[in-house]
Amino acid sequence: MKKYNQLADLESLLLDIADSSIRAYAKEAIDCYFAGAYRASIVSIWIAVVFDLYQKIRYLSEQYLYEILLKVKELWDNASDSLKQRFKTYIKDELFHSPGQFLAVSIFFDFNETEDIISDYTKLELRDQKLFFQQAVKLGVLNLASDSTQKIIEINIDTFTKSSSFASARLNSDNLIEPARNLFSEQLIFYLLNKSVENQRHERNYNQLDNCENIFIEIFNSTIDKYPNTLEKWQWFIETEEKLYWHDLREKIALKANQT
């Protein structure tokens, strides 16, 4: 009876576990204990504990990474030229031995120099190099590497606008464009609209970006007042892309045009 009450108490604790994956592992541990599979129970509970720690570390990283990078950037800006050169040499040597450890490079160098470092000192394939710059958006590096921002987002736009299916377009929109939405300049808006037309101009009956109207609406809403000169380009875009059935975006553009 005592054993049952203890297990019942454990089961009630499951309600306090917010993450569904961790809760599932913890429940599996309790079920194994009920069945007498004590070793499996121990394994499951340790998986739950480790996964919970991972989630907490990930949360802290996402919440405070930008503040940490700001501090690092401040120290870098105040460093002497000789120290910067020594650090660059160190980074290059580290990249030669560990090709995967190159994220910090873009914090300190502009895009062209970063690209040269990766090309010269690692064995990364071109596909992996592009992935590096794409992921830079999600990791907040672009907020610091201002010289690299435009080029990195242009690479992401190229990948997005060359999507070969509805599914890949949605995925590229979520992973490559949405995280950088607040970083769009007037020039990047022109680039996005031009490439959306240019890279989808083929013989297919459907534009593969057709399911991505929301991201274009978000960019339009968040930038049109700041960059009113882009309105004419938005009008050109929506009229040129006859394969896109984007009634909501079309209405927003027309409404804005009538207000000016």
CA 11/CA 26 separation, integer angstroms? 9
Residue 39 lies in a domain: yes
Q: Which residues of the chain have pLDDT under 70?
A: 1-19, 50-51, 53-73, 76, 87-88, 90-149, 202-205, 243
* pLDDT of amino acid 92: 62
Residue 60 lies in a domain: yes
Same domain, 73 and 96: no
**Residue 37: CB atoms within 10 Å:** 15
Enclosing domain of residue 112: 80-124
* pLDDT of amino acid 208: 87
Same domain, 178 and 64: no
Same domain, 167 and 234: yes
**Residue 90: CB atoms within 10 Å:** 10
CA 250/CA 213 separation, integer angstroms? 10
* pLDDT of amino acid 222: 92
Do 157 and 195 contact (CB within 8 A), yes or no? Answer: yes
Residue 136 lies in a domain: no
Same domain, 68 and 88: no
Do 33 and 53 contact (CB within 8 A), yes or no? Answer: no
CA 105/CA 87 separation, integer angstroms? 10
Structure tokens given for 240 = 């040129």
What are the strands, taking DSSP E only, across 39-178?
Answer: none
Tell me the CA end-to-end span of the chain in Å, nearest whole number: 77
* pLDDT of amino acid 232: 95
